[in-house]
Amino acid sequence: MTMDIELTVNGEQVRESVEPRMSLADFLRERLQLTGTHLGCEMGACGACLVLLGGKPVHACLVLAVQASGETVETVEGLSERGAIADLQAAFHDRNALQCGFCTTGMVVNAHALLGETPVPARDEIRDALSGNYCRCTGYEAIVDAIAETARKRASDAEASA
Amino acid sequence: MKSPAFDYIRARSVAHALEAYRDLDGEGVYLAGGHSVVPSLALRLQAPAALIDLSGIDALTGISLDDGWLRIGSMTRHAEIASDPLIRDHARLFHLAAPHVAHPAIRNRGTVGGSLSLADPASEFPAVALALRAELEVAGRDGIRRVKADDFFLDIYETAMEPGEILQAIFVPPVRTGEVCAFDELARRRGDYAMVGAAVQAVVEAGRLADISIAFFSVGNKPTRAGAAEAVLRENAMNDTAIAAAQAALDADLDPSDEPQMPASVRRHLARVLLGRLLGHLGTTA
Amino acid sequence: MRSSDTRTISARDPHIGQAHRRETARRHLAGRGRFVTDIALPRMLHAAFVRSPMARGRIVEIDTSDAAQSPGVVRVFTARDLNPLCQPWTGTLDHFASMVSAPQNLLAEDEVLWAGHPVAMILARTRAEAEDACELVMLDIEEGEACVDGHAALAEDAVRAAPGLDSNLCFQTVLETKAVDDAFACAAHVVEGDFVFGRHTAVTLEPRAVVADFDAASGQLTVHHGTQTPYQFQDIYARHFALPESRVRVIAPDVGGSFGMKLHLYNEEMATVAASLQLGRPVKFVADRLESFVSDIHARDHKVSARMALDAEGTILAMDVDDMTQIGAFSTYPRTSVAEGNQVVRLMGAPYKMPDYRGRLSVVFQNKVQTSQYRAVGHPIACAVTEALVDKAAVKLGLDPIEMRARNLVPDDAYPFVSATGYSFEKLSHEACLSKLRDLMDYDALRAEQAELRQKGVYRGIGIAPFVEITNPGAAFYGVGGARISAQDGAVVRLTPSGEVQCAISVTEQGQGTETVISQIVADQLGVSPEQVKVTTGDTDTTPSGGATWACRGAGIGGETALRAGRKLQGQILALAGQILQSDPADLALAEGHVVDANSGTRRMPLAEIGRIATYRPDTLPEGADNSLTAAQHFAPSGYPFDFTNGIQASLVEVDVETGIVRLLKHWVVEDCGRIINPLLVDEQIRGGVVQGLGPALFEECLYDETGQMTNASLADYLVPMACEMPDIVIGHVETPTNDTILGAKGVGEAGTAAAGAAALNAVNDAIGPLGAQIHQTPMTPLRVLKALGHV
Ligand SMILES: Cc1cc2nc3c(=O)[nH]c(=O)nc-3n(C[C@H](O)[C@H](O)[C@H](O)COP(=O)(O)OP(=O)(O)OC[C@H]3O[C@@H](n4cnc5c(N)ncnc54)[C@H](O)[C@@H]3O)c2cc1C
Ligand code: FES
Ligand code: FES
């Protein structure tokens, strides 16, 4: 059986027919070629597949594409192209907070959501927010630094413009 | 790790869901947040004919006060459990436990009803429901009934719900004066299922424990009330002697399984340590 | 003409040593990485494997008829169909005298030898359909007795882990100095311990992935392969499938982590290539996480008994070590599973003056997943055993651990130095590192704080671990044993018509920053900025052949190759400029995108002008002028067989003595990797490496039951180190360049992993020692810590 679904992905209206068993991650990667959403475990344990569903970070490997019908999805490609994470990307780049890059998109999506909720998180809060995001390459410290630096910059920019 | 094929039904109402379940002749599985169902499908541990999605049913959502009782809709997500002010004030143990459940993104999808229905003995919320003496509202083909948490959790992944019944809401009794609570768990890593965890709620009157309920999780095949330890503490002052006696009483309360990586004796030891710490903490807050 | 080849690194190399960012990082940050898992080709099929559910058994019957009828299935292969396509492989090397291993082929033939051994291969339109069909394959296996424990496997009458073996001993060796027994006989103190180091595995976030694409019309095989060593696989695919090498192209695009795990040959990748050859269509295989745990190589798995002899002053006289390591049913190909143990017994006591030594190694087969080289091969074991014994000796002698090391480290002025195990060290800096570490961590203050907290019942511990790391290996590693593994690398550098630079090089990138480092080095040779140097890696058709990335060679050997290629091109450019400008090339140099006057720095002409003339107007050049603006260079290390690096690490932990939970509070590393080309990249290599050492020290372990089943083979059950549990890591440097090369760089990729676990082990023992407890097993789980403390 396939089902028709309709959803908004990165601001674009998408209509597709999918098998109910298809995960949102496979849907994004295989149907829409949005390969920035990665798969590292397919069971919610690595965070490589994080996307925003209705504005909140969720594991795209644990959501079925049919469940997302009628919803709004944003992936790293969308966030990047609309400039929402430019400063985070720059901070990750400056701090060399990625190596192979496979965890990076999930990290950035999660960091974006964190800073939306907690504009100036403490280091512990950053580590806590990343507690489900596995990175084999960096050892995490640079990622924490990059997020903390973005928060600091945003706060000081906000102060300057106030 | 791709799921086997299945159909998908988005239930419009509890009645619709119950009907769909009946039509599937035992081959249907309810879907709430999906964060236990979907991984188990990816692991091909089950192969349902169809998933019946409950998450769009309005009657299963919402958090409200009803005659002093707090009603929590079963589709309430873990993240709302953590942040909702009514829960913070009227079911504080849920509020304290929520940050220990998995990781932030999982809490954005997982539902309290899914967690209680699944009845994983390592899960936090079932133990919280026990410690709060919550009541669970269940809808079935014969109507609606309320089950006390003490009677709800039967065994590993087994509850008092009949196949096809739907957990609609959790009812938490009114807050009493002098009520205090504490929650903690010992986990290897942040967000992991605990090696041992416990939720404690007590009523302190004039320096004595007028009432106490203690519920452990990750010790044995279901969330477990520590009745013997409670009895030792009830009507007593909270001091080192009482705490030590309660710790000793745990041996009768808990029946952990013996596993190579976690022998029963170690879990018992950890349970005693944790109880000591929680009671010590209660002592300082009371 | 001035010979540019003798100039060492100097102020004229403005980019070497600078913290340049990685330009490729931007793609990843925008979600534009291109990994093998992302590749989809027209008519591509997806592979899934039916695997043995048990560790040992005889295949009675495989019935694939239902699976073949399953929707979407195109073909089902078993050993009978597929194995004849492939020349079997055997994981032995000549320089490991008398080592043995059974030959292997694509799919299990008569016997299954580990739980996870692939038995049948399904090819379908989608991976989901392939998995559906896997469930329909009827597999009748008669279960046999599995060999699971190494010691038991060595018994005379033990069942053999694989058919055709005379015993379960894969390899045995003894290293010994003459006076080792005398040293123990006259020692004032002897300390000893039995250590167990659990199995763990790489868990790269991107699993193993391959897309094989055989075009029967042209005879061309293209394999997109997530690996760190494309040339090695080009050679393997050509030889084992009898294809001309020129018709095999291996492309390694972005690779989501490798760490040694992705340079071994696996049944599944070989079967994927075979299937594509057979079907003439692209075939994709991506290991899912469950398959990764039962098919990616595992690491370590050692049981070590060791003693150390000391004189009355605490001088180390000798070590006597017996290492038994358990490797699975086969030795891996093409590097074997012996190199790990071999390095364990050769790195024992490496930082110390210790004159005498005996090391015994037994490498043993059993019915589990194969173990083999993973980041810091052998180092963590040698370091942990050595440093645990040094700390025991310090306790026995009442010496501070730092003082104990100061008395025994090879002094900085004692080089060249040959270790008791026979390694030649050109120049190391242990003393400088020790003193720098002491300052960096404020050692005395930490000790004071530790004592104060202990009064309050808080148990903190400090662990110290100096180390030596093997980098820049030459052919001594594998080549001499007959392996077709290149120890040399190659680069082609060219000036484009518009005056920019392109460099195609054989070393590969998995995020370490290889391409950035190469661009910095080449930029300095040609007087341009690194942004103007485009570096290409990871494609056997477009880059020269070389060893690529293994054993810490990217910067040291790859960098030297690039440097020499750059200088060759510099010579060509200056010669041409000399002719155009009617100047002596010796009076010219390259800087800031220009040919300049070597002495005054005055600009003479832009590089773009050279490119333009050489490309579009060679007719205007003087007669006989050579307009070639491409230079090729290969480089193989000579001189020392390896460039050793050194450093020291320290760990601060807090042990909850009631629960056994260990919290890592902070970690320090002082490291000497020779010339630092890019400090930003070096520091993050170290941090990542440290965490890969701390993971197995506290969390990571492949657990098996007594029947040989791995019991925690999922990412929910196998505990990788996560952000909340890992500490901040403070890094310091000492720089002792090697004189073996012009560049002077050594490796750094494995240094962090080498000693982090040893430092953590010592820290935990320092914390619980006052309670009379000691732990000698990793990972240090709460259960093991509680046992050590006598609570259970
Ligand atoms: C990586 C990871 C880590 C996790 N860690 C933890 C943890 O530390 N602690 C913890 O407690 N949980 C943890 N979970 C589980 C998570 O909290 C689950 O989401 C939760 O237990 C189930 O809720 P759900 O809404 O996702 O339910 P679903 O997965 O949708 O359903 C779970 C089960 O309950 C049934 N069901 C659901 N709702 C109802 C209903 N209203 N009436 C009747 N039956 C129903 C379903 O049919 C199914 O059998 C983790 C999950 C993941 C993926
Ligand atoms: S792939 Fe979704 S969490 Fe790992
Ligand atoms: S950068 Fe490789 S996994 Fe994080």
pLDDT of C5 over the 70 cut: no
Quick one: B142 exposed, middle or buried, by C-beta within 10 A (0-12, 13-18, 19+)? Answer: exposed
pLDDT reported for residue C782 = 98
pLDDT reported for residue C487 = 83
pLDDT reported for residue B286 = 57
Confidence of residue C552 (pLDDT cuts 50, 70, 90): low
- CA atoms of A10 and C279, how far apart (whole Å): 38
pLDDT of C556 over the 90 cut: no
Confidence of residue C2 (pLDDT cuts 50, 70, 90): very low
Confidence of residue C9 (pLDDT cuts 50, 70, 90): low
C594 and C649 within one domain: no
Cα–ligand 1 centroid distance for A114 (angstroms) = 23
- pLDDT tens by residue, C300-330: 999 999 999 999 999 999 999 999 999 999 9
Q: Which residues are bridge partners to B77 per DSSP?
A: B111
In percent, how much of chain B has pLDDT > 90?
96
C706 and C650 within one domain: yes
Contact C773, C459 (CB under 8 A): no
In percent, how much of chain B has pLDDT > 70?
99
pLDDT of C698 over the 50 cut: yes
For residue C55, give its domain range: 36-144+203-295
Does residue C173 lie in a domain region? Answer: no
pLDDT reported for residue C125 = 98
Taking contacts as CB-CB distances below 8 angstroms, the residues of chain A near B109 are 58-59, 62-63
- CA atoms of C693 and C493, how far apart (whole Å): 37
Cα–ligand 3 centroid distance for C335 (angstroms) = 26
Sign of CA dihedral B213, B216, B221, B226: negative
Q: Which of C131, C132, C786 sits opposite B269 (nearest CB)?
A: C786
Taking contacts as CB-CB distances below 8 angstroms, the residues of chain B near C722 are 189-191
Q: Which CATH class is domain B58-172?
A: alpha beta
Is C29 touching ligand 3 by the criterion CB < 6 Å? Answer: no
- pLDDT tens by residue, C16-44: 999 999 999 999 999 999 999 999 999 99
Does residue C483 lie in a domain region? Answer: no
How many B-C residue pairs are in contact by the CB < 8 A criterion? 60
Residue where a domain terminates, one of A52, A79, A106: A79
Contact B109 A62 (CB under 8 A): yes
CATH of the domain at C597: 3.30.365.10
Confidence of residue C551 (pLDDT cuts 50, 70, 90): low
Q: Which of C127, C719, C722 sits opposite B2 (nearest CB)?
A: C127
* Domain spans of chain B, in order of start: 7-53, 58-172, 179-285
> How many Å lie between the alpha carbon of B199 and the closest alpha carbon of chain C?
18
CATH of the domain at A141: 1.10.150.120
C302 and C291 within one domain: no
pLDDT of C60 over the 50 cut: yes
Give the global pTM. Answer: 0.97
User: Which residue's CA lies nearest to atom 37 of ligand 1?
Assistant: B114
CATH of the domain at A73: 3.10.20.30
Structural domain count, chain A: 2
Contact B105 A61 (CB under 8 A): no
C505 and C428 within one domain: no
- CA atoms of C675 and C689, how far apart (whole Å): 19
Q: What is the β-pairing status of strands C424-425 and C417-418?
A: antiparallel
Q: State the number of CA atoms in the 13 A half-sphere of C475 facing the CB.
A: 12
How many A-C residue pairs are in contact by the CB < 8 A criterion? 178
- pLDDT tens by residue, C170-211: 999 999 999 999 999 999 999 999 999 999 999 999 999 999
Question: What average pLDDT is seen over chain C?
Answer: 95
Cα–ligand 1 centroid distance for C716 (angstroms) = 15
Does residue C454 lie in a domain region? Answer: yes
Structural domain count, chain C: 3
Contact B261 C703 (CB under 8 A): yes
Residue where a domain terminates, one of C578, C611, C635: C635
Does residue C168 lie in a domain region? Answer: no
Cα–ligand 2 centroid distance for B157 (angstroms) = 24
User: Which residue's CA lies nearest to atom 4 of ligand 3?
Assistant: A135
Contact B262, B168 (CB under 8 A): no
Candidate from C29, C35, C205 with most ligand 3 atoms within 8 A of CB, to mutate: C205
Q: Can you spell out the DSSP letters for B33-91?
A: S-TTHHHHHHTTS---SEEEE-TT-GGG--EEEETTEEEEETT-BHHHHHH-HHHHHH-
Please give the CATH number for the structural domain made up of B179-285: 3.30.390.50
Confidence of residue C68 (pLDDT cuts 50, 70, 90): very high
C20 and C116 within one domain: no
For residue A59, give its domain range: 3-79
Buried b (16+ CB within 10 A) or exposed e, C649-671: bbbbbbbbbbbbbbebbebbbbb
pLDDT of C554 over the 90 cut: no
pLDDT of C571 over the 80 cut: yes
Fold of B7-53: 3.30.43
pLDDT reported for residue B37 = 98
C465 and C532 within one domain: no
Taking contacts as CB-CB distances below 8 angstroms, the residues of chain C near A80 are 29-31
**3-state SS string over C484-547?**
CCCCCEEEEEEECCCCCEEEEECCCCCCCCHHHHHHHHHHHHHCCCHHHEEEECCECCCCCCCC
Contact C21 A94 (CB under 8 A): yes
- pLDDT tens by residue, C427-477: 999 999 999 999 999 999 999 999 999 999 999 999 999 999 988 777 667
Is A50 touching ligand 2 by the criterion CB < 6 Å? Answer: no
User: What atom of ligand 1 comes closest to residue B110's alpha carbon?
Assistant: 19
Give residues with Cβ within 8 angstroms of C67, minimum separation 6: C73, C76, C120, C122, C133, C134, C136, C137
In percent, how much of chain C has pLDDT > 70?
98
Does residue C479 lie in a domain region? Answer: no
**Lowest pLDDT segment from A140-149, C381-390, C670-679:** C670-679
pLDDT of B238 over the 60 cut: yes
A123 and A67 within one domain: no
Is A146 touching ligand 2 by the criterion CB < 6 Å? Answer: no
The list of chain A residues with pLDDT below 50 reads: none
pLDDT of C298 over the 60 cut: yes
